[in-house]
Structure 1
Amino acid sequence: MLINSRLSPDMFPLSKQVQIASDIVNRGAARLAFIEPPKFEDNETTFPQLIDRIQKTISHLNTFKPEQIDGSEEREITLQMRDNTLSFEGMPYLFYFVLPNLYFHVTTAYNILRHCGVELGKQDFLGQP
């Protein structure tokens, strides 16, 4: 099944790549705005469910007002990871943690789809202007 496809046995499947990308942007924006991020169950098993998750993520991002994020460039962001704690100021958090993780998981999802024969091109990845 395509939704469980992965590039390598030790990598997450397509569904998890989408879930992680969604979580990264939801949590990233929420941390910069100093609010609690939404929690999703990570239980999507179909493409309509993944599409719904993406739409919920976009809806969440659309709730932010510029003044919620403005001034967060130097806000202290602390992340508890499995084995350690990461600390960032707001701007480095966005540029060196949120965006690279988002790009990695979206690119991996795109590559899984391409690897499985889905006809996608660069413009599909970049989106419409």
Structure 2
Amino acid sequence: MPLTMYRLSIPAFTRGFSALGGILDKAEAFASDTGIPLAELFEARLAPDMLPLAGQVQRASDTSKNAIARLTTLEAPRFPDDEQSFADLRGRIAKTVAFFESVKPADLEGSESREVTLNFTKLKVSFSGEDYLLKFVLPNFYFHVTTAYDILRHKGVPIGKPDYIGSLD
């Protein structure tokens, strides 16, 4: 099977969110077992200028779903960043994955050469679709998933590399 933009994106995002959901489940169980308030985990951050756990999940969702929209003619669903609980975060993950389930391989055909332009505060950057996915989207997505993992690990949640990697089948 050839390597396609679909195979490089949708399965990676779906797998990442599956692992993230499992990590959130373990965090909730940890809080219940230890008596740590869920809010302490929900609002935890690695550094004062970094987003808390909820923000990491929100950015992973936004990065991935907006990338698919930019690479196709599909419209990404919009979610307000108003999650207040672990259940809300799992709901956001579920809605994001539901969007990915609606994407067909044909939707991404030819997107490797599609021009994608991002406007940052003082910088405008244009990419080919392939470079956008490989050099910006996937690193950004994994940064936020990894940071969510790191926040919970730092707070003592008993998770390890197999929780992050997920199933190998």
TM bracket (short chain): over 0.9
Which deviates further from its counterpart, 74-83 or 50-59? 74-83
Say if 2:84 is the partner of 1:45: yes
TM-score, normalising length from structure 2?
0.74
Question: SS where residue 15 of structure 1 aligns?
Answer: helix
2:158 aligns to what?
A: 119
Counterpart of 1:55 in structure 2 is 94
> In 2, distance between residues paired with 1:81 and 1:27?
15
TM-score (normalizing by structure 1): 0.96
Aligned residue in 1 for 2:119: 80
Cα offset, 1:80, TM superposition: 2.0
Alignment of 1:19-30 (within 5 A): 19-30=58-69
Percentage of identical aligned residues: 50
Partner SS, residue 62 of structure 1: helix
Q: Which runs of 5+ in 1 are unaligned?
A: none
Superposed CA offset, 1:44-63 (max 9, x none): 11000000000111110110
Say which of 11, 18, 42 aligns to 1:3. Answer: 42
Instruction: Tell me what 1:69 maps to.
Output: 108
2:157 alignment partner, SS class:
coil
The alpha carbon displacement at 1:92 in A equals 0.2
Which one-letter code corresponds to 2:68 in the other structure? A
For structure 2, list consecutive stretches of 5 or more residues without a partner in the other structure. 1-39
Task: Write the letter of the residue equivalent to 2:110.
Answer: G
Equivalences, count: 129
Query: Which is greater in Rg?
Result: 2
The corresponding residue for 2:71 is 32
- Larger helix share, 1 or 2: 2
Letter in 1 for 2:47: S
- Flag the structure with more relative contact order, 1 or 2, with Cα contacts below 8 A and sequence separation at least 6: 2
Local SS of the residue matching 1:87: strand
Deviations 1:51-82 (A, max 9, x none): 00001111101100111101111101112222
